[in-house]
Amino acid sequence: MSEHIILIGTYGWQHAQWDGEFYPDDLPVEWKIGYYGNEYPVVVVPNSYWQFGSEQYSEWLDESDDSLKFICEWPATGANEEAYQQARQAIASLNDRVAGVLIPVTTIPTDQEWQLIYGIAKDALISFDLNDDIRDDFIGELERLFPELDYGICWHGDQGHQEDLKLGRLAIGRIEQDRDPKELRRLLETMIATTGLDRTLVLIVDGSPPDMKLLTNAGIILDLL
């Protein structure tokens, strides 16, 4: 394994298209999280998974090794109260297996949502995934309300906003479309340049489903750096 501390994983693990490609055809559904965790150290739990309830969260913990860490996705701004409560309960249930919380921001938060965000940040590392059209307004309001808050901002692997990787103790890069090896190497080197002793760096492969070839190539290149 590479000595560089970048955790590589995917957005979710319950992808039917992976059956027969990544998962054996006869693998029981409840064993998939453990199978995934034997290959990769981190996974994003999409906010759509929170509806499963506390028994399911306990099963995820029981069926996977403690080395598998979860990035928990918070409901996007504008969600209903029930969705926020489900997320809070799930994050609490997963407890110390939570490496951080990913917060998608599509609109400027309401006063109540700001308070929820602040409450999360007191207990977990956080990273915001921002729409470009509200980016500056959001950051300005965030720093006005909570100047002491430690936070990261997701980087989507483009040439812009590379400085976001230096923010906070949780730095998340997100990629989806296929990338040639040279481009993927540059992306990983950009992330490596921001490593620190007290920081968690995560590279997430998105998609429906996430591209296993892209995931594998990222791991191979990281091991060679």
Angle (deg, nearest 10), helices 212-224 and 181-192: 60
Map residue 88 onto helix, strand or coil. Answer: helix
Q: For 6-224, CATH number?
A: 3.20.20.410
- Partnered with residue 102 across adjacent β-strands are 73, 127
Please list the pLDDT of the chain residue by residue as tens digits (225 residues): 344 589 999 999 999 999 999 999 999 999 999 999 999 999 999 999 998 777 899 999 999 999 999 999 999 999 999 999 999 999 999 999 999 999 999 999 999 999 999 999 988 999 999 998 999 999 999 999 999 999 999 999 887 889 999 999 999 999 998 789 999 999 999 999 998 878 999 999 999 999 999 999 999 999 998
Domains of the chain: which residue ranges? Answer: 6-224
Its pTM stands at 0.93
Distance from C-alpha of 195 to C-alpha of 181, rounded to nearest angstrom: 21
